[in-house]
Structure 1
């Protein structure tokens, strides 16, 4: 870990590196102090953001993870085309809905801030860490 900035992870990714990124996120979050269900929940939330960036966004796609006092943050970015409003503000899902659970799940597993538009999307996922 970079002691000055707290950076744990910073790289570009694509479809071929999703599994590697998930392992790196798991290791980085564990090294930052997450354990048990908190670790599993956070890794799943980040994985959903990474998967969505590959599925719906354009290259370049990036991920950065860092630790601040009391919080672990991960930012996933892509270069467009942006997330439609109907996907951002989905409140309910039925068991018959196919897809559309990624953002919904991220919000249940971490603190999420999303900025999106035609130039790209930035998803910031945060979780408490001691």
Structure 2
């Protein structure tokens, strides 16, 4: 990690605090306007998914590398089912959930590593 901006564990009670810290850290890294809003929303989706579907410990780390802001959200849950990762379209309006990964992929550069020992969601934004 070139320039560490944030690193902490979180739970359901700290989701709002985490969103605030992500916003401030992303602003300090140089994101602004719609790029900032998109990145914060993508990270928020990943954090809430970790709380909803993952198990502790859940962590978030954000750092800066040349030209890019990176945020990684981790949990020790059961992993993400393949059908959720393979969706090209969001879930229908009648489905409960199923839009978070789709949305993250449209708001940031998304990479997911998942398995029976947990999940790591990495979101990147250009610092042009």
- TM-score bracket, normalised by the shorter chain, equals over 0.9
Distance in 2 (CA, whole Å) between partners of 1:39 and 1:5 is 20
Provide the residue aligned with 2:48 in structure 1.
51
Unaligned ranges ≥5, structure 1 = none
Q: Which runs of 4+ in 1 moved over 2 A?
A: 93-98
Provide the residue aligned with 1:109 in structure 2.
107
Distance in 1 (CA, whole Å) between partners of 2:66 and 2:2 is 11
Unaligned ranges ≥5, structure 2 = none
Give the counterpart of 2:58 among 43, 49, 61.
Answer: 61
Provide the residue aligned with 2:10 in structure 1.
13
1:40 correspondence with 2:8: no
Give the counterpart of 1:22 among 19, 22, 26.
Answer: 19
Q: How many residues align?
A: 127
Q: TM-score, normalised by structure 2?
A: 0.95
Q: TM-score, normalised by structure 1?
A: 0.94
> 1:29-70: per-residue Cα shift (whole Å, max 9, x none)?
000000000000000000000000000000000000000000
